[in-house]
Structure 1
Amino acid sequence: MSLLAFLQGLSPLEGWLNGALIVLSILTSGMSAAVGIGGGTLLIITMAQVMPAAALIPVHGMVQLGSNVGRATLTWRHVDWALMSAFLPGVVIGALVAAWLMVRLPAGVLELCIAAFVLLSCWGPALPHKALGWGTTLMAGAATTLISSLVGASGPVVAAFVKHSQTTRLARVATFSACMSFQHLTKAFVFGVAGFVFHEWLGLMVAMVLAGLVGTWLGLKLLRRLSEQRFDALFKWVLTLLALRLGWLGIERLG
């Protein structure tokens, strides 16, 4: 079997598109590991150009599940498990609501709200310590899981929240990856309930997950060479660019 024939059999897409998405999975996973954020958003933006709308969020979610699980596994010693104990119940609540309420806010509104929150988190005053308590973390888990299931854009919000709760680069990457792993895991449930047929895309998802593990390994090697100051600056500016893109998208959709 030729390489092109193999790639053709991975999904309903053309073989060369499958190959391009596999390569992109390496690059975006490496970006998320090294900078802490951005790879998943870049991946979904690109996938949206070539994939059917009905498959976009569930396939992206499963690929990101593999990428984040790999990253969390390689950095598990740095995960803030106290935060996770509050975040996880919120994830379950958000997933249950998403399975029941597969609808969206008026086009553009959600994107603008996310952009405003992320920009405020990056450039506004630091959140008081009591604002990062158990209840707030649970609500963050529920809200971002709901957002993730409906529009696939929760990464910047979760990253902005983690930014205020973690002070070192490895803790941010590890805790963010653990949070996103559980969020993406719920999409198998949400879209399974909604009737999405995963097996048609299984080959591509597995190939992209394996490619993502390679990217994660390369990205973590780069992360360990970055200083805390340089990582913090990159993290903040990537988040800002993602927020500005979401804001622009929201304005376009409102128009």
Structure 2
Amino acid sequence: MTELILGVITFLTSTIAGVVGIGGGMMLIVILPSFLPLNALIPIHGLTQVSSNLSRAIFGYKDVKVEVIPKFLLGSLLGIGFFMGILSFISLEYVPLFIGIYILLSLWSAKFNEKIKRYENYYLAGFFQTGLSMVVGATGPLTMTLLLKDYKDKNVVVATGAALMSISHILKVFVFMYFGFVFFDYIGVIVAMIIGAVVGSWTGTQLRDKIDGKKFVIILKVLLSALAINVIIGVFI
């Protein structure tokens, strides 16, 4: 019964992510503690997000901007290595606060964008998104915010964002395997969630065509802002 419930929930969250490119994974990680032990939470969420994002990128492969992938991948590898090395020495308690503030300023402040533009690139996005994804649940919006500035086509933003988030989650899964997490112990739940994620990605990709490009940008900006505010509030609660 748990497998069926999680499969349906993953389908719904993956469909949302398929339409607007983000939000599904964050909704899922809020729901999972009711069904899984805490030590299994991030590894299983990460593996499910690999299937959700990778399938979304495959369904929209024609819209993926391949030129940004090597930059993001290099940044991601450096980020994983760096944060694995320092995790035991520093407190990351306030990292979500800075991520939330950055996203809000980046989305709504022209002056901030003018000043930050020279420092924004896919190397840094990969470094922070992937490195911090091991401990912070809200790193996906970092890349989506950058893609929304660089590309106006909704399909390009969603498909490329999915490809980049796939890299983050794949590397994260390898890290958990390295540390000895046994995914096979949860094979029933994982299979159900992967099926839900892939079918949800396909459904979301079909529904995305029904949304006008200008409306899509507004919806994505509002959703990113809501996620950022939620992350900031979470630091203080």
- Name the TM-score, length of structure 2 as normaliser: 0.92
- 1:154-180: CA deviations, max 9, x gaps? 112222122212211000001100000
In the alignment, does 2:43 pair up with 1:31? no
CA shift in 2, pair 1:130/1:120, >3 Å = closer
Q: Shift in Å at residue 246 of structure 1?
A: 0.5
Give the alignment partner of residue 131 of structure 1, picking from 104, 111, 117: 117
Separation in 2, partners of 1:82, 1:128: 24
CA contact (8 A) 1:108 1:249 kept: no
Letter in 2 for 1:131: K
Gaps of 5+ in 1: 1-15
Letter in 2 for 1:96: G
Match of 2:161 in 1: 176
Match of 1:10 in 2: none
Q: Shift in Å at residue 107 of structure 1?
A: 6.2
Match of 2:192 in 1: 207
In the alignment, does 2:124 pair up with 1:152? no
Separation in 2, partners of 1:107, 1:145: 14
Match of 1:121 in 2: 106
CA shift in 2, pair 1:127/1:78, >3 Å = farther
Number of equivalent positions: 236
Identity in percent: 31
Mapping for residues 172-251 of structure 1, pairs under 5 Å: 172-251=157-236
Give the alignment partner of residue 100 of structure 1, picking from 43, 65, 85: 85
Q: Shift in Å at residue 106 of structure 1?
A: 3.7
Give the alignment partner of residue 161 of structure 1, picking from 134, 143, 146: 146
CA shift in 2, pair 1:199/1:101, >3 Å = farther
In the alignment, does 2:32 pair up with 1:60? no
CA shift in 2, pair 1:105/1:224, >3 Å = farther
CA contact (8 A) 1:63 1:209 kept: yes
Q: Shift in Å at residue 128 of structure 1?
A: 5.4
Gaps of 5+ in 2: none
Separation in 1, partners of 2:18, 2:90: 31
